[in-house]
């Protein structure tokens, strides 16, 4: 029974480790797909969106220019629901309160784990603009289309969106969105990750039930082995009669019984 309990404890520990490691495995899987995904191309003559042959900014960071304000809106999607594997539209507004004209260079974004922002889940498409100009004391809106990995597990994630622009040939950037989005599955079919987690949960509950049943059996066996102590008046009286036999007390008791007869 001790070896069985050790086996149950080891199995429970292994299942808990797999459950905790599932999000990290998901991160690695999404990063692999992100590296293999070709950047989407969009045609819009008024803002001059170009394809992935343009400059790639990668992880390069720039300061924020004074007098520049940004805002973002999910059109017809106030709940900020993002369907895995499908395009999601995000509108980025730029207000130029500076003295010089502004030229939008690119918009990029990334997905991070909600409980640990340091863990990167996926780098999204970098959308580059050719003629995205915003004159001084003016404002403009730029569309941004992105798609999260179709293998991304449904749940809440952090989206960080950045717009890169140029003023007087100097590059700058501003963060237009840094908040939570909810990723949902496309269709009603269960994903591989959902089946995996459900199976792990059922196995965990089954092993826990087996372990509890074994503990109850051990407790019942210990209870049965405990000796029973019975104290009866009859046995006590018999021993007392033997101890008093032959004394005056027993003779008086015998005389009383004879008189009653």
Residues 81-123: tens digit of each pLDDT: 999 999 999 999 999 999 999 999 999 999 999 988 889 999 9
| pLDDT, greater one: 187 or 85 | 85
Residues 203-261 have pLDDT tens digits of 888 888 898 888 888 888 777 665 555 555 554 455 555 555 666 656 666 666 655 55
Q: Which pLDDT belongs to residue 31? A: 46
Dist CA 30 CA 8 (whole Å): 33
Q: Which two tokens stand for residue 107?
A: 């918009």
CA separation (Å) from 63 to 94, 165, 167, 170?
Answer: 16, 10, 12, 10
Residues 27-72 have pLDDT tens digits of 444 444 444 433 333 333 345 555 444 455 556 789 999 999 999 9
Dist CA 171 CA 159 (whole Å): 23
């Amino acid at each position: 029974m001790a070896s069985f309990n050790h086996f149950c404890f080891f199995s429970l520990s292994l299942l808990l480790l797999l459950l905790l490691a599932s999000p990290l495995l998901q991160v690695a899987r999404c990063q692999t797909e992100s590296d293999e995904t070709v950047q989407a191309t969009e045609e819009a003559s008024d803002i001059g969106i170009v394809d992935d042959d343009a400059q790639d900014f990668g992880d390069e960071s720039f300061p924020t220019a004074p007098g520049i304000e940004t805002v973002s809106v999910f059109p017809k999607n106030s709940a900020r629901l993002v369907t895995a594997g499908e395009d999601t539209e995000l509108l980025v507004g730029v207000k130029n309160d500076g003295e010089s004209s502004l030229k939008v260079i690119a918009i990029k974004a990334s997905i991070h784990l909600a409980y640990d922002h340091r863990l990167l889940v996926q780098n999204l498409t970098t959308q580059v603009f050719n003629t995205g100009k915003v004159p001084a004391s003016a404002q403009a809106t730029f569309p941004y289309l992105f798609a999260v990995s179709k293998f991304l597990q449904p749940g809440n994630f952090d989206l960080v969106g950045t717009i890169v622009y140029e003023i007087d040939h100097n590059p700058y950037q501003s963060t237009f969105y840094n908040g939570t989005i909810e990723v949902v599955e496309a269709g009603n079919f269960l994903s591989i990750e959902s089946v995996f987690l459900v199976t792990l949960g059922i196995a965990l509950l089954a092993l826990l039930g087996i372990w509890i049943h074994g503990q109850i059996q051990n407790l019942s066996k210990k209870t049965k082995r405990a000796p029973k102590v019975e104290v009866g008046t009859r046995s006590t009286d018999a021993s007392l009669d033997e101890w008093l036999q032959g004394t005056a007390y027993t003779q008086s008791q015998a005389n009383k019984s004879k008189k009653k007869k």
